[in-house]
Structure 1
Amino acid sequence: MSDSSRDTAEGAGWGTPEPGAYKGLMPNRVEKLSWLNPRTLWPARNGVLASWFGDPTGRTRDRWVEQRRAAGAPADAVVRRDDPDHFSFMVIGDTGEGDDPQYAVVPGFLKVSQDTKFAVLASDVVYPVGSAGDYGTKFYRPYRDYQAPVYAIPGNHDWYDDLQGFMGEFCDAPPPAPQAVPRRLSRAWLRSLLWHTPRPPDEQRLAEARQMRSAPAQQAVQPGPYWAIDAGPVRIIGIDTGLLGTIDAEQGRWLREVSEGDVPKILVTGSPLYVDAEHHPCDIEDGGTVDDIVRDPAHHYVAAIGGDIHNYQRYPVQVDGRTIQYVVAGGGGAFMHATHTIPPVSVARVGVSEDDFRCYPLRGDSLAFYSRLYGRRLHMRRFFTLTEGQARSVVAKRLGISPTRSQAEPAAVTLRTRLVASLLGAGRRPGPASRFRLPVRKTYTQLFSPGSATYSPPFFKCFLRLDVTPDSIRLRCFSATGNREQELEPPVEDEVTIPLP
């Protein structure tokens, strides 16, 4: 097994290693998205409109679910498989934009996923607006050689076209009948004037794309945008958190029902419940939260895996004398969200400390990545660019934590490295430039990160493999850097064995 980023800088993808072979998998012409381009921003306006004029996704989701049930989908939305007691499956989230970072994940994913029974895509299958016409290059082509079914839960980007692309490709569902026109001058009417509606796809191109995953072993039709899968000794439950990261009352009722019983359960959600050292329990429309359901000892949840945030994080949370693994797994190919902005983890009431916490990329690698990005974009490479050693050392000093790559020689922490770390928000601690931080975290996420994806390694992408037995689940996070060495032997960045009750 090759070194991971916790072992060496080369294991993280730094240096001048041999490029991977992933480019041979890509189409000849690749569109590079820019979220600073009005042609990209305008079709993705529905999230903003939902926050201003009310979120209609609950009602739209109900119509999709009713349509699927009328077509014969099981009323309880449970997929009952015949997997053995010992089996494996993959989880990969926020798979990307059809460009270099997404395809760089594919060789390692195919190698690690051999003999797995199925895969789950956790949030944001297709960027930027979930259009059916984008599924060819952003779903069918990259995963055409994965010889098992793929199930998915939608993310907010999949909802930007009212879920039509997602429901057509994963649920074989035609568009529902148009809704009645809202009362004039109401909030819903104002929203409808600006609402982005999907354009009809090119059916011939879509049919050609579907042929890339047309083998019988690859087929699966899921019951709707939220579902449960009974697989071997576990139940995997996927929920749809829509545009704004909440679930409607009907889905909440269903979630409570499918969570009952003694079978160990894993939640997969588009909105992680613990992320960036903060708790986001996910509200349910008629009261309560998703995390209330996960924490209830009668439901026997052992893990909750969320997408949406484009990196890997794990929090082993103590709940009534047992441990639930809360995981962020959105690093499947889209632009990278920073980890160096995460403060030292200390969530005392649930027993999670910095020593328990895991993330990928490591905070130092994240800072080095963003320093290069800003140096390039602002044409100030000499000032901004930090080596991985400089970034690792300044992050450790600034956050008061031990350097993760402990066997590496520490680099001197200078005024420049401290200033760059402060400007880029390392640890979000006060510093000399704290008033003048550049947008890296929330603002950067909303505007600049998607437009600043890099197209050369290291990419710091990741995916999960879960090996299930009647007694335990072995969860491993594998990295994908875009370099040849990590393609041939994907490094394990994190591993935990979860006992089953």
Structure 2
Amino acid sequence: MAVRASDVSRLPGQRVEPEPQTPPGRKMVSWYDPAVLAKSGMKALLSGTFGKQADRRLLDAVSRPQPLAFDYSVDDTGHPRDELWLDYVADLGDGWDSTYAVASTVMAPELALTDEDGKTHVTRGGDVLVFGGDEVYPTASVDEYQARTVVPYEDALNKRRHRPHLFAVPGNHDWYDGLVSFTRLFCQGRRSNGWRTQQQRSYFALRLPHGWWLLGTDFQLESDLDAPQVEFFQKVAGQMRATDRIILCNAEPAWVKQQVMPHAGRGFLDHNIDFLEQEVLGKKVSVFLAGDLHHYRRHENADGRQKIIAGGGGAFLHPTHLPKVDQSPGGFVQKASYPSRKTSQWLAWRNLLFTAINPWFGVFMGVVYTLLGWGVAANLNEGAVGAPSFRELINAALQSTGSMVLGAGVVLGAIAFADRRRGPLWKKAAGVAHGLAHMGVALLLTWGVSAIASPLAAELQWSLRRDFFSGLLLFGGGALVGPLVVGVYLLLSLNVFSCHPNEAFSSLSIPDWKNFLRLHFDADGQLTVYPVGFRRVPRRWKRGSGPEEPVWVPDPTDTRATPPRLIEPPIVISRKKALPGKLETGPPGPADMMVDEHLPGGAV
């Protein structure tokens, strides 16, 4: 009788667990889930409070020495590199489908990309991987990093190619636990099957081939550039030649946020970046990279300098029709966005499905509407023999002290929720209008509930039964119409009044329209940026057939999923063009900036 190897290795009585047939990942964060809101708000409050008193960056600067620059201009044998591939991914670690779709593409040994003209560009997986900020959602913790970031990238790599060297820029979500989990994962040399970490601090410098540098900053939660970081980058700048060029990676796109949120004090971030560029580095930056806004957007000026937002690593989609920044200081003009503004405006209409998309928020609003209307309904039901009149409704509401107090709380909460980008007066007016809308709808709902309950008064007999029945109707009605009021408010705020871009799209948890950047430094010193987009990420996965594939591959039955392709033709920065100009504060150098341009016909 033949004996199978599996029978020999199996212990008597041991049960062999079958391999899971579905990915272990988590769903997109439901930002309007009351539990998520409470937890995230508390962590943000605590991190902001303690971050001001105990800045992790200051401690690491003393206790964790780090090389001035990690040198990728030479290979392992010390010979100059002819070329280098580098991938940039920002705002990841959210839902499995979106994060893993990007990760499995980034980790592929080779990727053929088609542009809008149908031409194919063959690219290679990056030797270096840069995470551009907000590496996990909703808040940082060891468990969330492991489930939402580490596992997707480990499963995506499998044994397909070598592990890339990873460098990470912290964003505000990484700071929500005081940067403890971020430091543990990315700054202590811990092993992972998905990457190899190198950095010891939350900021770093990479020396790249042919005079290119990539700098990653950490502006903490207060948009603050601390003194040790300034000193660090001053020393890095001292190693640069006059003709060297810089790619600056910040967690947030100051060139957009400062223009659209002047009342929110964003100028501090913008001034810090200007200070870093002019006073510390002493030269203009050729390419700015940032995330934080979860879409793709590129600005370019007449000198060819690039400012690129690529925050599509996995987090929910942000609108591209707001913030609307067609031009920014320095002559920068918007050249591309993904998705298009028209598509973005249409997507905002999904807020009319707010109740279906955010069911737990519906439960919360059901409770609020029940508390608002129950006392009023009880007053109306007392001795009622028919449907109450509108005057009786108003009198009952005014006699219900609890409902009036709670109503005032709803209005104050709506004011606190309102967007402040148009100034304090607008914030108060929008908040009052939103709060009164809830009050009005709650009153109308209570009126309808009383009209239904009144004819049943004789049948129910016991007033407590009648009031309980009214409460159930109020809860059900509030759970349906309360979120709808919020959805309509967000839709109008975004598409009509240009407010609430974050709130109006975080409510939708859209996993599609993802993106990342692939950078190629070739033998001629030319930098080519490939903006890679995913129109629709897969929703169904199956196990890969072996180690040469990812652990999970898209299920062919998911016919709506689309392959990655170029968002726009490759962006080329040629070494033969004029080099970056020096500012007066820096050492002397050529006066003109190099010119970035698209290759003719999109060819590489």
TM range (shorter): 0.5 to 0.7
CA distance in 2 between counterparts of 1:57 and 1:302 reads 35
Are the aligned partners of 1:247 and 1:284 in contact in 2 as well (CA < 8 Å)? no
1:496 aligned partner: 571
Larger relative CO (CA 8 A, sep 6+): 1 or 2? Answer: 1
Q: Deviations along 1:73-122, whole A, 9 cap, x unmatched?
A: 33x3x212335132110001001314322223234333437342111000
Among 514, 521, 534, the residue aligned to 1:461? 514
Q: Deviations over 1:373-410 (max 9, x none)?
A: 21322579xxxxxxxxxxxxxxxxxxxxxxxxxxxxxx
**Alpha-carbon contact 1:277-1:346 (below 8 Å) kept:** no
CA separation of 1:242 and 1:421: change in aligned 2, threshold 3 A: closer
Alignment CA distance shift 1:273-1:334 (3 Å): same
Determine if the alignment matches structure 1 residue 290 to structure 2 residue 273: yes
Residue 192 of structure 1: aligned partner: none
Instruction: Tell me how far 1:295 sits from its aligned partner.
Output: 5.3
* Higher-Rg member (1/2): 2
Counterpart of 2:131, as a letter, is: L
Contact 1:90 1:465 in 2 (8 A): yes
Partner of 2:331: 351
Provide TM-score, normalisation by structure 1: 0.65
User: Paired residue for 2:26, among 23, 26, 30?
Assistant: 30
Residue 286 (structure 2) aligns with: 302
Q: 1:134 aligns with which of 130, 144, 147?
A: 144
State the Cα distance separating 1:467 from its structure 2 match: 0.9
Gaps of 5+ in 2: 1-19, 76-80, 112-122, 158-162, 358-487, 539-558, 580-604
- CA distance, structure 1, for counterparts of residue 341 and residue 278 of structure 2: 29
TM-score by length of 2: 0.55
Larger deviation: 329-338 or 145-154? Answer: 145-154
Amino acid paired to 1:124: D
Alignment partner, residue 331 of structure 1: 312
2:128 paired with 1:118: yes
Distance 1:157 1:376, change over 3 A: same
User: Is the aligned partner of 1:248 residue 2:248?
Assistant: no
2: CA distance, partners of 1:98 / 1:150: 21
Structure number with the higher helix fraction is: 2
* Cα shift readout 1:232-282 (whole Å, capped 9, x = no counterpart): 221110001212333223212323332343321111111113226938997
Aligned ranges for residues 424-435 of structure 1 at < 5 Å? 425-426=494-495, 434=497
SS at match of 1:301: coil
Checking the alignment, whether the CA contact within 8 Å between 2:299 and 2:308 is kept in structure 1 is yes
Letter in structure 2 aligned against 1:162: G
**Kept after mapping to 2: 8 A contact 1:340/1:364:** yes
Distance 1:37 1:485 in 2: 28
Structure 1 residue aligned with 2:508: 452
User: Of 81, 97, 100, which residue of structure 2 is paired with 1:100?
Assistant: 97
Query: Is the 1:120–1:150 contact (alpha carbons within 8 Å) kept by the matching residues of 2?
Result: yes
For 1:278, what is the secondary structure of its paired residue?
helix
Identity of aligned residues (%): 23
Instruction: After superposition, give the CA deviation of every residue in 1:166-194 in whole Å (9 maximum; x if it has no partner).
Output: 11111117xxxxxxxxxxxxxxxxxxxxx
Alignment counterpart, residue 239 of structure 1, candidates 200, 213, 217? 217
Q: Which residue of 1 aligns with 2:484?
A: none
Where structure 1 has 5 or more consecutive residues not aligned to the other structure, the ranges are: 1-23, 174-206, 381-418, 427-432
Q: 1:103 to 1:425 in 2, by over 3 A?
A: same
Deviation of 1:468 after TM superposition, in Å, equals: 1.1
| Displacement after TM superposition at 1:489 (Å) | 4.8
- More displaced stretch, 232-241 vs 477-486: 477-486
8 Å Cα contact 1:88/1:468 also seen in 2: yes
The secondary structure found in structure 1 opposite 2:249 is strand
CA drift of 1:50 comes to 6.2
Structure 2 residue aligned with 1:479, among 529, 533, 550?
533
Alignment of 1:74-473 (within 5 A): 74=67, 76=68, 78-81=69-72, 82-83=74-75, 84-111=81-108, 112=111, 114-144=124-154, 145-146=156-157, 147-172=163-188, 212-213=193-194, 218-233=195-210, 234-260=212-238, 261-262=240-241, 263-275=244-256, 278=259, 289-294=272-277, 298-318=282-302, 322-343=303-324, 345-347=326-328, 350-353=330-333, 356-371=334-349, 373-377=350-354, 423=492, 425-426=494-495, 434=497, 440-442=500-502, 444=503, 449-454=505-510, 459-469=512-522, 470-473=524-527
Q: Decide which moves more: 36-45 or 485-494.
A: 485-494
Take 1:454 and 1:99, find their aligned partners in 2: how far apart are those partners? 12
Change (3 A) 1:167 1:343: closer
Distance 1:336 1:34, change over 3 A: same
